[in-house]
Chain A
Amino acid sequence: MFANTLFLLSAVLTLAGAVLVVYSQNLMHACIYLLASLFGVAGLYACIGADFLAATQLVVYAGGVIILMLFAIMLTGGTGNRTNKYGLEKIPAMGNKKTFMIAAFAAIVSALIVIKVTIPVFQNNKNLIVAANAPTVERIGTLLATDHILAFEISSVMLLGALIGAAVISRPRKEIHD
């Protein structure tokens, strides 16, 4: 009961957040809804016992990505008026009634196909049981330091590159005298 409630809450949060991100007219609000949606995803991870992944989701997205996005939106003035000086919409509409209806029809058809294809997968894995609360931290740590050491190192080199790039961009420009 407890786990089901948690799952339902997380799923509703994820979906509602995602829908509102698309629906929202204000970019800043969309970013906040995205935060809610990402929290929902973290809840979903927690539901299947992936505790480390859930916490990582919180640290990376809530702490880093969302704040960076908010900064970017604020610095680029993304929430300003939506018409330019000639009175034209800067952000064009995604379509009109006709295209939306065609898109909805296409979505229903493709959803039916996807369901048809994935039914055997669900039927075969009907009795799939999630390992109850087995701690994942040790296993992830062991795997990262043994089997996946190359991927781990390469990603750290990438982060180093990003760090150096940021330092190069943000340092004061030297006047060139010749």
Chain B
Amino acid sequence: MNSTVVSYLSQSNEFQNIHAWLSKALGFDASSLMAFVIFAIVALIIVGVMATIGGAGTYAERKISADLQARVGPNRVGPFGLLQFLADGVKMILKEDIITTNADKFVFNLAPVMCLVGVFATLAVVPYSSGFILADLNVGIFYLVGMASLVGVGVFLGGYASNSKWSLLGGMRGASQIISYEIPATITIISIVLLAGGLSMKTLIGAQGGGMQDWFILHNPFAFIGFFVYFISALAETNRAPFDLPEAESELVSGYHTEYTGMKFGLFALAEYIEVFVVCGVAVALFLGGYNVPFDLGTGALFSKSLGLDSMLSQNIGQLLQLGAFFTKTLALYYVVIWVRWTLPRLRVDQLMTLCWKYLTPIAIFNLLGCAVWMYAFDGKSIFALIMAATAGGGAHH
């Protein structure tokens, strides 16, 4: 059975009480109904939180860019301009929704929704903590790759349906870029799957530890290079600078969403910012230890033993720590993404394709082979473990 947020909650006494009461009141086994209700509530929470993070992403983007360019940035709405993204959202909803005369209306309306659906569907397997993961599928990371590719279709259709030259060029660039950079990203993911021995998020994270020396980024040199290959590919897949050619404002006005107004443009922007969070989360889960907390605090066993707390309560404290670990690492990477955007100039199209096909893809394949050889030669031990073993062995001689 795949472990889900329901299977985590079902360990508690309250869940069992409600389950028994509902089954008695309704006259049938209520576990399916309860699973449905819990999934609905948790999905609502996740979508709400992620939409807020996406909105706050725009605020962070503007503040950090202002910081890098020695400006102040938004500072009028709320304390430090914190409510700027809400004001922007209200403005977008109130704006007139313009559909150009010659646009393909069906596709035009569908494209932003498709982008957002593709991103939100990936949130189902993002591991926030060991209990608070919507569904830990056996094919977790593979499912995520598949769903994220829907964004490419949305970008392309948005460019095509607008019936504008800028949009079409932007959409084509976006689709070709997303397809191309999926290859090094996926091959790098496969090399990490090789290290962990499974596709599910829990297997991938469970194979790492809380301390830095147990993270996959420091497992071997190939994984260390792989992290950067994945990060660059993820930047390109989410159309972030220096790879924001699909929306290059100096050449294409605004690329595939040139003709979009109001909340439809808002959906594109929201999808982009949430996707950045998702790819940062995946990078954290694959390379930076995911939700693991040092000294095994995440399981909560220490709290129940040393402080004498109820086992469920201490587990919940552990989950909160794991959530903190995951969000701290992910938001730190998010900061790096924004930092890179306001530091590096944009690439040309040919440079973009050269980087993908002549550099990143061969490096990713080399990393995959390297990881396989490492696993075979050193029996799956990390470089840290090897050094520890060597020093321990060396110490024995003296």
- The answer to whether B15 has its CB under 8 Å from any CB of chain A is no
From B33, B36, B137, name the one whose CB has the most chain A CB atoms within 10 angstroms: B137
Q: Is the CB of A2 within 8 A of B32?
A: yes
Among A29, A67, A74, the residue within 8 A (CB) of B179 is: A67
Bound-complex Cα distance A79 to B102 (A): 13
- The answer to whether A58 has its CB under 8 Å from any CB of chain B is yes
Q: Is the CB of B106 within 8 A of A70?
A: no
Bound-complex Cα distance A67 to B143 (A): 18
Contacts A67-B175, A137-B199 given; does A62 touch B138 at CB 8 Å: no
Among A2, A32, A79, the residue within 8 A (CB) of B36 is: A2
CB contacts (< 8 Å) of B145 on chain A: these are 59, 63
Bound-complex Cα distance A135 to B35 (A): 20
Among B147, B156, B199, the residue within 8 A (CB) of A58 is: B147
CB contacts (< 8 Å) of B156 on chain A: these are 67, 70-71
Q: Is the CB of A67 within 8 A of B139?
A: no
Q: Is the CB of B32 within 8 A of A51?
A: no
Bound-complex Cα distance A101 to B143 (A): 44
Q: Is the CB of B179 within 8 A of A52?
A: no
CB contacts (< 8 Å) of B149 on chain A: these are 58-59, 62-64, 67
Q: Is the CB of B138 within 8 A of A32?
A: no
Q: Is the CB of B142 within 8 A of A59?
A: yes
CB contacts (< 8 Å) of B104 on chain A: these are 26, 28-29, 79
CB contacts (< 8 Å) of B32 on chain A: these are 1-2
Contacts A2-B36, A29-B107 given; does A62 touch B175 at CB 8 Å: no
Q: Mark A1-24, 1 if CB is under 8 A from B, else 0.
A: 110000000000000000000000
Q: Is the CB of A62 within 8 A of B35?
A: no
Bound-complex Cα distance A74 to B179 (A): 17
CB contacts (< 8 Å) of B172 on chain A: these are 71, 74
- The answer to whether A83 has its CB under 8 Å from any CB of chain B is no
- Min CB distance B361 to A, Å, is 11
**Interface size range on A against B:** 20 to 34
- Min CB distance B174 to A, Å, is 10
- The answer to whether B192 has its CB under 8 Å from any CB of chain A is no
Contacts A1-B33, A32-B110 given; does A55 touch B153 at CB 8 Å: no
CB contacts (< 8 Å) of B182 on chain A: these are 63
- Min CB distance B302 to A, Å, is 31
In chain A, positions 23-59 with a C-beta closer than 8 Å to chain B are 26, 28-29, 32, 35, 51-52, 54-59
Q: Is the CB of A51 within 8 A of B147?
A: no
Q: Is the CB of A63 within 8 A of B152?
A: yes
In chain B, positions 131-187 with a C-beta closer than 8 Å to chain A are 137-139, 142-143, 145-147, 149-150, 152-153, 156-157, 160, 172, 175, 179, 182
Among A52, A67, A79, the residue within 8 A (CB) of B138 is: A52
- The answer to whether A155 has its CB under 8 Å from any CB of chain B is no
- The answer to whether B2 has its CB under 8 Å from any CB of chain A is yes
CB contacts (< 8 Å) of A79 on chain B: these are 104
- The answer to whether B377 has its CB under 8 Å from any CB of chain A is no
CB contacts (< 8 Å) of B157 on chain A: these are 32, 70
Q: Is the CB of B153 within 8 A of A133?
A: no
- Min CB distance B210 to A, Å, is 26
Q: Is the CB of A135 within 8 A of B143?
A: no
In chain B, positions 13-42 with a C-beta closer than 8 Å to chain A are 32-33, 35-36
Bound-complex Cα distance A58 to B156 (A): 17
- The answer to whether A136 has its CB under 8 Å from any CB of chain B is yes
- The answer to whether B70 has its CB under 8 Å from any CB of chain A is no
Bound-complex Cα distance A29 to B137 (A): 32
CB contacts (< 8 Å) of A55 on chain B: these are 137, 139, 142-143, 146
Closest residue of chain B to A4 (Cβ to Cβ) is B32
- The answer to whether B1 has its CB under 8 Å from any CB of chain A is yes
- Min CB distance A103 to B, Å, is 28
Q: Is the CB of A58 within 8 A of B153?
A: no
Q: Is the CB of A2 within 8 A of B143?
A: no
CB contacts (< 8 Å) of A1 on chain B: these are 32-33, 36
Q: Is the CB of B153 within 8 A of A51?
A: no
Q: Is the CB of B138 within 8 A of A51?
A: yes
Q: Is the CB of A62 within 8 A of B153?
A: yes
Q: Is the CB of A35 within 8 A of B153?
A: yes
In chain B, positions 109-126 with a C-beta closer than 8 Å to chain A are 110
CB contacts (< 8 Å) of B143 on chain A: these are 54-55, 58
- Min CB distance A6 to B, Å, is 11
28 contacts between A and B (CB under 8 A): A1-B32, A1-B33, A1-B36, A2-B35, A28-B160, A29-B104, A32-B107, A51-B138, A52-B142, A55-B137, A55-B143, A58-B143, A62-B146, A62-B147, A62-B150, A63-B149, A63-B152, A67-B149, A67-B153, A67-B179, A70-B153, A70-B157, A70-B160, A71-B156, A74-B160, A132-B1, A135-B138, A137-B199
The 8 A-B residue pairs with the shortest CB-CB distance in the complex, in nearest-first order: A63-B149, A58-B146, A59-B146, A55-B139, A135-B138, A55-B142, A55-B143, A1-B32
Other 4 A-B pairs with CB < 8 A, given A26-B104, A28-B160, A62-B150: A54-B139, A58-B146, A58-B149, A133-B1
